[in-house]
Chains A and B, each alone.
Chain A
Amino acid sequence: MIDPTLPPHMRPDRSFQGLILALQRFWADKGCVVLQPYDMEVGAGTFHPATTLRALGPRPWKAAYVQPSRRPKDGRYGKNPNRLQHYYQYQVILKPSPPDLQDLYLASLDAIGIDLKLHDVRFVEDDWESPTLGAWGLGWECWCDGMEVSQFTYFQQVAGFECAPVAGELTYGLERLAMYVQGVENVYDLNFNGREGDEKVTYGDVFLQAEEEYSRHNFEHADTAMLLEQFRMAESAAAKYLEAGWNADRSRHLMAQPAYDQCIKASHVFNLLDARGVISVTERQSYILRVRELAKACGAAWLATAAGGAAADSAAG
């Protein structure tokens, strides 16, 4: 149930930012560190090192954050009421997965105004796999009255490594959820700041022009020669940093995160190239494999860091 003390403009069913803030409060209350978005272009909240890297290794971890996600191919020049090339995901990661994760998730829906006595919430099989991250997990898409509002995954493997222990990951599609609780049919009509009249700012006011501009960029003008070069640069930089980060006996790694940044970059550049249609079907597979190799190497490096759980005694080495 929505916090009754909230002023109207802060209510999650009236305001897009109110929805985000309600989730932030909810998960902060459950002991998560509330992080800010990662400062790089990513295709999904999962790419944030707070998920990809932290899901690896034995250390417990609880985090929640908003992550802007870029899917160059999904651009529709602002013409489609549901599809965007840039949108927000709300990401929660809990390691190890708590036994009451489903209940926590349902309570979070309640907190943003979805009454579970009125709405039909269901967990429908949807196994998750990220070929570029070498990751997979089992879980569900969560339906509210027939609409997919979240993705719920128990990570089994990330970067080619078994997750031990397993982390539970929740991903909320924020625009969709907001459209649902606000009762809006077009994403650009979402009330962003919860104000009415002259003070009201819509999602369209904030993002419509950007959608138009980036669609042009993604499909027509992105400089493919430059992007191809950037892919190669990111790939070789990642390899360089990975190599340089290992200590003498390869027991500890000292630069896993900068290397992983390059992996993220390569992945996004690949998505842009794909949107520009310059990658053939056969090449596509090989690009994905190349990114996966980077992700795996970064995963291996992370496991040799302190946060990745490498034994303290090897820190000296």
Chain B
Amino acid sequence: MPDLLLELFSEEIPARMQAAAADSLRKLVTDALVERGLLYEGAKAFVTPRRLALAVHGLPAAQPDRHEERKGPRVGAPQAAIDGFLKASGLASLDEATIESDPKKGQFYVARIHRHGRPTPEVIAEIVPEIVRAFPWPKSMRWGKASAQAGSLRWVRPLQSVLCTFGPETEEPEVVRFEIDGLASGDTTQGHRFLSSGTIRVRRLEDYLAKLEAAKVVADRERRKDIILADAKDLALAQGLELVEDAGLLDEIAGLVEWPVVLMGAFDPAFLDVPDEVIRATIRANQKCFVLRDPATGRLASRFVLVSNLAASDGGAAIVAGNERVIRARLSDAKFFWETDRTTNATVPLDERLAKFRNVTFHEKLGSQYDRIQRIAALARELAPLVGADPELAAQAALYAKSDLRTEVVGEFPEVQGLMGRYYAALEGLPAEIAAAAEEHYKPQGPTDRVPTAPVSVAVALADKLDTLVGFWAIDEKPTGSKDPYALRRAALGVVRIVLENGLNLNLRTVIIDAIFLALIFSIRPRDGYLSLARIWDPQIEESPKETWAKGTVGSFLNSDGFVDDFGESASFHQMMHPDGLDPTDDDESQRRSEAYIELCRRLSTMDELKAGIWFENESGQYDYLIYCKAIYEREPWLKIGIDKLADDLLAFFADRLKVHLRESGARHDLVDAVFALPGQDDLLLVVKRVEALSRFLASEDGRNLLAGTKRAANILRIEEKKDGAAYDAAPDPARFVEAEERALADAIAAATPVIEAKLAAEDFEGAMAAIAGLRAPVDAFFEKVTVNAADPALRANRLNLLGAIRRVTRVLADFERIEG
């Protein structure tokens, strides 16, 4: 069967786009072929900096023929109908149609059309230009003379030639002829830019790859990666060193060379005073070179591996010398930054360094980085006792943790943030816990990253993430769909993993509410205070500030109980002072609005009052912001509603993240739902323990049967309660028991209930499950012997109440109705 070979030869394609482009080309072309009835045996794409190629193997020479039968109008039908039929079926006249007859319809025309499949090259010549014109490059451009006209061809960089051949193995393949904006397809390409010359004529994939190889081009990206990695390791080994592997860098380098030549260079060992990570970041980011490790010391060696695109006539001496010069200059800069930071840290106190963060905006509505650091420190202090850390140490660590963001090294290499904090803290002689927290509080960065375990690091890491989540939740910047610009899902997953993997019992809701208080105290506020917002509606101020606060945070807090009216928050504020449509004679309405305005001002003042907490000190002389806030929270119902709503909303987000996390580790999401359906589930560790116990229980025979019985009870109750418009939650009356099974079930429930409750109170979920397992036999026996819907209404109600008791006792463990199966 014939094969297709296609190559799109261009100026240098950005490395980061190459792999995806190769995939797209393969998918777009093969999909288009299949769509047109051209099935193939295999396809492989190739990509280098200058070419995007595709080989499709085992294609038919032409599309299959198609037979079609089209029924037409009856014989003697009006001419318009006949003409329509001829046109639609492509017949020249009625002579080409056959006449068939039908007992109902009588005689009618039928067109039998035989469509020949088109030759495959013709189809290819049609689809390739379309695909090239609409290729999904992340960014594309116009170029040259043609770009004077609108709608000229776009490609990632100027497209220079197109090679397209088609034919069976045994014959000379043909060039598939087409033109894309004046660029005619052919059967030639070029080799390496510097290591070959002239054009190469190509027939099919085998000689394409062989001829390119001879012209110093390795077309297969994976092979280039293998060559680079193997050669780099060999070079390292020859020097008694180890290559520091870096998959991302390898991917990028493979996209920068067509003919990889791996070389080794060296730098002055004096640069090794600079931390390894900084050296690596410098050499990686700026020079795209690998670094090497000395296995004897475990530290970096003063060597690097570079991958050139040239087999140079001097064996690479000039290339190595050139790269060494650049790396020397880069490392000089890094060393200078590192030494500057050390001097600054030694001479400028932390307070002064932190003060610089006052000018750095974290988020327009969440204040400066300085505000944020203060919040994190306060929250870390609150969290510390809950995670076994010293509160003052945790607060101090939090203050230190972000300080490296203003250092020269981190300014130059953002990827070493945290790590530099650790180095600098150690150099400043700070406690080891503070140094560790500086690095670890960013962790975990993703689902596979390490989770901090040291208590101080845990406190700061939780505070950092919770503050971010609460802040963005409060200003209504939640993740939606695929959009999560502030990486809030990652932050929430981080909290979940820190809590679970450290086995922390934490009432998340309480902690979230603390974080909300801190956010309200430190940051979330209009610039001139809340009361200034009342001015927005001041008719004597001509240019009222355009205030967006009314909608987001402020609106949701101030009108949490809907005190204004039904028109929606901002609209109702507006109406207070702009009484459009207000009947001037309606004194009651005016009065009502005036009172609402006074209440609004009072609430705004309360929001300002929250900030006063900043001045309150506790017995040990520390500011205790939260005590003051909590008093106001208890005093003002609308504030409590607003804060609770925010906390519950965020808690639901955590529940979702936990579900995703557990699902990835194999847990059933319906069990997580069944547990979260219970009230007050904000201790993630307990939720997980309960899910695990539940899962084991349901795997047992008792568990499966009890689940079936409970669901049966629940189903009956749902139907009957709906029918009767009543809830069967009352205690069943023992006097009305008729059958022994009824009494036995009631007794079993009565006996099990206190045991289950005691076990749950002791967080012994296994014990609770064991206790409820005892109900299985009486439940089964009940359903076997007893008819619930008895004719006697009182008996029926009593039995329904007994079912209600089953529902009640199982609900202490989980909402069984949400469990599948």
Chain A residues within 8 Å of B, Cβ to Cβ: 58, 81-82, 96-99, 102, 115-125, 127, 137-140, 144-147, 154, 156, 163-166, 168, 180, 185, 280-282
Q: Does the CB pair A116–B194 fall under 8 Å?
A: yes
Q: Would you call B403 an interface residue if the criterion is a C-beta within 8 Å of the partner chain's C-beta atoms? A: no
Q: How far is the CA of A137 from the CA of B147 in the complex (A)?
A: 13
Q: A residues within 8 A CB of B150?
A: 164
Q: B residues within 8 A CB of A154?
A: 141-143, 157-158
Q: B residues within 8 A CB of A180?
A: 322, 325
**Interchain Cβ contacts under 8 Å between A and B, 25 examples:** A58-B148, A96-B144, A99-B160, A117-B310, A120-B309, A120-B312, A121-B194, A122-B257, A124-B12, A124-B15, A137-B141, A138-B139, A138-B156, A138-B157, A139-B157, A145-B318, A145-B323, A146-B322, A147-B326, A154-B157, A154-B158, A156-B141, A163-B142, A164-B149, A185-B325
Q: Would you call B562 an interface residue if the criterion is a C-beta within 8 Å of the partner chain's C-beta atoms? A: no
Q: B residues within 8 A CB of A138?
A: 139-141, 156-157
Q: A residues within 8 A CB of B328?
A: 185
Q: A166 touches which one: B11, B142, B287, B360 (CB < 8 A)? A: B142
Q: A residues within 8 A CB of B14?
A: 125
Q: How far is the CA of A124 from the CA of B14 in the complex (A)?
A: 7
Q: How far is the CA of A96 from the CA of B146 in the complex (A)?
A: 9
Q: Does the CB pair A280–B157 fall under 8 Å?
A: no
Q: Would you call B308 an interface residue if the criterion is a C-beta within 8 Å of the partner chain's C-beta atoms? A: yes
In B358-376, the 8 Å CB interface with A consists of 359-361
Q: B12 touches which one: A117, A140, A280 (CB < 8 A)? A: A140
Q: How far is the CA of A195 from the CA of B359 in the complex (A)?
A: 51
Closest residue of B by beta carbon distance from A119 = B318
Nearest Cβ on chain B to A276's Cβ, whole angstroms: 15
Q: Does the CB pair B322–A145 fall under 8 Å?
A: yes
Q: B residues within 8 A CB of A116?
A: 194
Other contacts beyond A122-B309, A165-B145: 5, CB < 8 A: A118-B319, A119-B310, A144-B322, A146-B306, A154-B141
Nearest Cβ on chain A to B217's Cβ, whole angstroms: 15
A164 and B148 contact, Cβ closer than 8 Å, known pairs A124-B256, A138-B157, A154-B141? yes
Q: Does the CB pair B141–A123 fall under 8 Å?
A: no
Q: How far is the CA of A58 from the CA of B145 in the complex (A)?
A: 10
In the A-B complex, the 9 residue pairs with the smallest Cβ-Cβ separation, listed nearest first, are A145-B322, A125-B14, A165-B148, A123-B12, A146-B323, A120-B308, A166-B147, A138-B141, A165-B147
Q: How far is the CA of A44 from the CA of B25 in the complex (A)?
A: 39
Closest residue of B by beta carbon distance from A127 = B139
Q: Would you call B171 an interface residue if the criterion is a C-beta within 8 Å of the partner chain's C-beta atoms? A: no
Question: How many residues on chain B are close to A (CB under 8 Å)?
Answer: 49
Q: Would you call B566 an interface residue if the criterion is a C-beta within 8 Å of the partner chain's C-beta atoms? A: no
Q: How far is the CA of A127 from the CA of B49 in the complex (A)?
A: 16
Q: A165 touches which one: B144, B194, B308 (CB < 8 A)? A: B144
Q: A residues within 8 A CB of B257?
A: 122
Nearest Cβ on chain B to A151's Cβ, whole angstroms: 14
Q: A residues within 8 A CB of B299?
A: none
Closest residue of A by beta carbon distance from B317 = A118
Q: How far is the CA of A99 from the CA of B11 in the complex (A)?
A: 10
Q: Does the CB pair A117–B256 fall under 8 Å?
A: no
Nearest Cβ on chain B to A101's Cβ, whole angstroms: 8
Q: Does the CB pair A125–B194 fall under 8 Å?
A: no
Closest residue of B by beta carbon distance from A138 = B141
Q: A residues within 8 A CB of B698?
A: none
A119 and B329 contact, Cβ closer than 8 Å, known pairs A145-B319, A156-B141? no
Q: A118 touches which one: B16, B289, B309, B313 (CB < 8 A)? A: B313
Q: B residues within 8 A CB of A123?
A: 11-12, 49
Q: A residues within 8 A CB of B314?
A: 118
Q: How far is the CA of A165 from the CA of B332 in the complex (A)?
A: 43
Q: Does the CB pair A119–B141 fall under 8 Å?
A: no
Nearest Cβ on chain B to A261's Cβ, whole angstroms: 28
Q: Would you call B327 an interface residue if the criterion is a C-beta within 8 Å of the partner chain's C-beta atoms? A: yes
Q: A residues within 8 A CB of B289?
A: 146
Q: Does the CB pair B319–A98 fall under 8 Å?
A: no
Closest residue of B by beta carbon distance from A146 = B323
Nearest Cβ on chain A to B330's Cβ, whole angstroms: 10
Q: B residues within 8 A CB of A127?
A: 139
Q: How far is the CA of A124 from the CA of B11 in the complex (A)?
A: 11
A97 and B326 contact, Cβ closer than 8 Å, known pairs A125-B16, A140-B12? no
Q: How far is the CA of A281 from the CA of B150 in the complex (A)?
A: 38
Closest residue of A by beta carbon distance from B157 = A138
Closest residue of B by beta carbon distance from A168 = B143
Q: How far is the CA of A115 from the CA of B141 in the complex (A)?
A: 31
Closest residue of B by beta carbon distance from A163 = B147
Nearest Cβ on chain B to A138's Cβ, whole angstroms: 4
Q: Does the CB pair B194–A117 fall under 8 Å?
A: yes
Q: A residues within 8 A CB of B360?
A: 281
Closest residue of B by beta carbon distance from A79 = B336
Nearest Cβ on chain A to B268's Cβ, whole angstroms: 12
Q: Does the CB pair A119–B312 fall under 8 Å?
A: yes
Nearest Cβ on chain A to B280's Cβ, whole angstroms: 16
Interface string of B1-27 (1 = CB under 8 A from A): 000000000011011100000000000
